[in-house]
Structure 1
């Protein structure tokens, strides 16, 4: 199993409650052996197996990594800059999931502003 499809449906539903300007600019792309959700082509969150992958702006990484059920993303045994994994226990509620989606959207919007 490349990624959890039920979890992908939860993420899609969470994006559906975002403002129209956000949800109309979300696309999906298969990446890292899973699926990623992009805002204007910039990665926000994704799923690898049962883990949520989240892009986080640099100045929030330390705080996010101190959260329970969060760890630095280590794809191919290398830590990745501005990426974290959140285990299934860390996104048990819709409120928790929305919080991580907001972090991912914040990262994408910051990268778009840098262009």
Structure 2
């Protein structure tokens, strides 16, 4: 099992089933809570949405670095190195992400429309 796949299995077990969905994104699996991204798992590690208010706090934790897209940091999202991501550390990271994502209004995914 690839690292990203193993991490996805761990996330499925640790995240609440109610309101949880998955989608392929960022080269791995994105986990959505009530339609809002909470976490992602890939070979690069754990991706978490922590919000702008707790972004600096999250970056100060061991193993965290900014998430980057096209060479630019995306404020409010952090990437966690997979090495040393114990079960306790994973639960702590997910608690931080849930504290933010649960404040967001639920998103309803729109069905793909037909183009005219």
Q: Deviations 1:24-71 (Å, cap 9, x if unpaired)?
A: 211011111211111100000111324100001222111111111100
Q: 33, 39, 43: which is aligned to 1:49?
A: 43
The DSSP-based 3-state class of the residue aligned with 1:112 is: coil
What is the rounded CA distance, in whole Å, between the counterparts of 1:4 and 1:39 in structure 2?
19
Task: Give yes or no for contact 2:3–2:42 (8 Å, CA) kept in 1.
Answer: yes
Q: TM-score, normalised by structure 1?
A: 0.81
CA RMSD in angstroms, aligned pairs only: 1.9
The alignment covers a number of residue pairs equal to 105
Q: Which has the larger radius of gyration?
A: 2
Q: What are structure 2's unaligned runs of at least 5 residues?
A: 107-116
Tell me the residue number matched to 2:80: 86
Find the aligned partners of 1:81 and 1:24 in 2 and give their Cα distance: 27
Q: Deviations over 1:9-37 (max 9, x none)?
A: 1111112xxxxxx4221101111121111
Match of 1:104 among 97, 100, 115: 97
1:7 is aligned to 7
Ranges of 4+ aligned residues in structure 1 off by more than 6 Å: none
